[in-house]
Every structure is written in structure tokens, then in C-alpha cells.
Structure 1
Amino acid sequence: MILITGGARSGKSRLAEQLANEKASACGGNVLYIATSLVTDDEMARRIEQHQQMRPSHWRTHEGYRQLGNEIRQQSAFFPVVVLECITTMLTNLIFDWAGDSDPDRLDYLALERWLEPQIDDLLKASTESRSEIIMVTNELGCGIVPEYPLARHFLDIAGRVNQKLAQQANEVHFVVSGIDMKIKG
């Protein structure tokens, strides 16, 4: 498993796609691209479309953010390389699924994290047991200021713990800054 982290617009996706191309070419296989974003407005629709146009047309795309461990288990026999883009967006979507229309100031964040934990653990288990090369992209959120609002602070905490768990299990970890890849593990 390879984890690629860095700030927004740092070049993480480009690196993930480059590594996926290299690994797929080396084994003569194809790539499964798991896209976790949802179209929430016109701007997001444009961003998703730009990402789609950048990817090779022969890659298969699975759009979703739930039960990704199962998706990896089901597809790894067919795809020697899987790109999961991105963990932070997946977490956002799962958190909003769990919270619904609840007031963020009244959420039980410990219960939320307990609900998320088995899903993350299952994703990690599927990724580390898979014969496919799994390339995960996530955002490094710990380099900025601590957010003002409780939901954002708790999201930062949750994403930070998830990223630590992923990095611990990954064979390689890359940190991307301004388009420059720094391999920090493996």
C-alpha cells in the first residue's frame, strides 16, 4: 500500500496517477480508480470533470465512498493497481451521512469516531491483504491553523488519526509539496 499526502492542490493526484501508470505498465494490467467525491455544486462538477479528463480513458472508475474495503476485495483480482482518491473526501461524506441534518455543535464526536473506526479498519485490512497495489491519496490537514468551529476541529482530529493509521500500515508514504514528491517512508 502506498499513501500519498500533502496539502490541497499540491500535486498528490498527479503523483498517484503517475505511479499507477508505471505500476500498471510494468505488469501489463489496468487500473481501478476509486473516486470518492460527490457533485455538490457546479464548481465541484467541473473539478470532477477535470480529474476524469486527466485520467487515461482505459482506466475503470468506481464512484463511491462507502464500503470501499469490499470494493477492493471484489476488484483486486481484475485490477493489479487501485487508486483511492481521496481518503479525506471519503471521511467528509461518511461524516455527513452519519450526522445528517444534526447541529454540528451537538454531535457526539466520540460516537462518530467509533462508527467510522470499523470502516477504516476494514479498508486497511482489505488494502494490506490485497494482491493489488493500492495507492491512497489523502490531505495533510495538520500544517494549518486549528479551525474556529467545532465540526472542523473534530474533522481535523479524526482525519489526522486516520492518516496516522494509514501511514503506519503503508509500505510507502509520499509527501507532496508544490508538485515536489518527497518519499518519507519505504
Structure 2
Amino acid sequence: MSTHSEGFQTNSGSTILVTGGARSGKSSFAERLVGKLGAESGRPIVYIATAQIHDDEMASRIAGHRDRRPPGWKTVESPYDLEETVKELYSRPVGAVLIDCVTMWLSNLLLIPGPMGEEQWMKPEASELILHRAEALVRLLKTAPFPSVLVTNEVGHSLVPEYPLGRVYRDLAGRVNQALANCADDVFYVVCGIPINLRQMAWRPD
């Protein structure tokens, strides 16, 4: 196991969660972070993208993210099946993995249409099933032969959403973020582009 100069673990299977609000700088920080992890191994960095292009605005955002990435990084698009994507990387020469982002993945899963046209979020059991998938994902990353960085959004700082889907999404994202943070070796909260290591600041009972 190695320990980076910033104080976080960089051994195989170590996981780092990066969270923050919209335009907080969390993705840029996560990219710098995973770049350092990959540089230590000498193997390629894999960027797992969960976003889908539905309009021109999203296309522009995704293009901006792509332009920031170094040319040697490998991009894998996985809007729905993160667990299978991570499993497939087990047998490849991977230096580090960046997943950006978890909350977009949750949104994708909630909006999958059923056979009768009803979206998944309308089903009472949907949130629990998705939470179990997130827990399975982090277990896979903890046993992976590479370190990983996950980006997620902090969505609980605003007003209670007026519509049911918004409340389901907010509550699910909060529960998933807690589950991921509970297993992560380090958790960074990014505010105004400044990353704060929550593990180092966390209250600990005597």
C-alpha cells in the first residue's frame, strides 16, 4: 500500500468520493486527483462517463469535460450498468478509474421506462433497489485491482422539491452518498474550487 503526499491512500481498491454543489469545481478536482493516482501506476486512466446527450446544452457540457481530459485517458460510456463496467475493467491494465458522476447515474436509473410507460421512480421499491446497486458498486471498487475516484452531487442544500420525482431523487441521492462515503477511504467536499478532506475533519466519538 502507498500513501500519497496529500495524505490519502492510493493502494489497489482504495476509493475516494468527491462531492459538492453544481459548478463547485468537483469534477476538475477529481480529474487532477485521478491523474495523480494513475501517474503512480504507469497504466492508463479510465474515465467512466454516466451522462447522456439529450440536448445541445448537455452536448456542450460533455464536450467541455472531454476537452479537459489528457489524450491518453480511455473513456467508457456507461449510463446504466456501472457494476458490469467496473467488473470488465478487472482484467485490463488500469491505473485508476474515475466515475463521473454517481448522481447522473441515479437519474438515468430512475427515469428508465417500464413496459407500461411508467418510469422506475414511480415504483415503491425502486429507491431500495438502486441503493442496493450503489452498495454493490462500491464493494466492487473496494476489491478492484486499481484505485478509484467517484464524483457525486450534494443535492440536499436547497429547498424541498415541489414535485414527487424531485423528492425521490433528492432522498435517494442523499442515501447513496452516505453509503458511498461510509465505505470510501477519503471523502472530499469541494466548495468554490477548494477541496476539503471530510475524513480528516470528521468528528470522532471518544
Q: In the alignment, what sits opposite 1:95?
A: 110
Q: In the alignment, what sits opposite 1:39?
A: 53
Please say which of residues 155-164 and 57-66 is displaced more in the overlay.
Answer: 57-66
Deviation at 1:103, TM superposition (A): 7.3
Q: In the alignment, what sits opposite 2:158?
A: 144
State the TM-score, normalized to the length of structure 1.
Answer: 0.92
> 2:52·2:79 contact (CA, 8 Å) conserved in 1?
no
Matched, 1:78 2:93: yes
Q: In the alignment, what sits opposite 2:4?
A: none
**In structure 1, what is the Cα distance between the partners aligned to 2:113 and 2:182?**
26
Query: Within 5 Å, which residues of 2 pair with 1:26-65?
Result: 26-65=40-79
Q: Secondary structure at the match of 1:90?
A: helix
CA deviation digits over 1:76-106, x for unaligned, max 9? 44212000000000000011115684379x9
**In structure 1, what is the Cα distance between the partners aligned to 2:175 and 2:99?**
18
**In structure 1, what is the Cα distance between the partners aligned to 2:108 and 2:64?**
20
Q: Share of identical aligned residues, percent? A: 36
Q: Secondary structure at the match of 2:156?
A: coil
Match of 1:107 among 122, 147, 150: 122
**In structure 1, what is the Cα distance between the partners aligned to 2:38 and 2:193?**
22
Distance 1:103 1:75, change over 3 A: closer
Q: Secondary structure at the match of 2:112?
A: helix
Match of 1:153 among 167, 192, 196: 167
In terms of fraction of residues, the more helix-rich structure is 1
Deviation at 1:120, TM superposition (A): 1.4
> 2:17·2:188 contact (CA, 8 Å) conserved in 1?
yes
> 1:98·1:112 contact (CA, 8 Å) conserved in 2?
no
- Uncovered stretches (5+) of structure 1, i.e. residues with no partner: none
> 1:3·1:167 contact (CA, 8 Å) conserved in 2?
yes
**In structure 2, what is the Cα distance between the partners aligned to 1:122 and 1:65?**
16
Q: In the alignment, what sits opposite 1:182?
A: 196
Number of residue pairs the alignment of both structures matches: 184
Deviation at 1:167, TM superposition (A): 0.3
> 2:25·2:193 contact (CA, 8 Å) conserved in 1?
yes
Deviation at 1:119, TM superposition (A): 1.8
Q: In the alignment, what sits opposite 2:3?
A: none
**In structure 2, what is the Cα distance between the partners aligned to 1:181 and 1:50?**
21
State the TM-score, normalized to the length of structure 2.
Answer: 0.84
Amino acid at match of 1:102: E
- Uncovered stretches (5+) of structure 2, i.e. residues with no partner: 1-14, 201-206
Q: In the alignment, what sits opposite 2:182?
A: 168
Amino acid at match of 2:172: I
Pairwise CA RMSD of aligned residues?
1.8
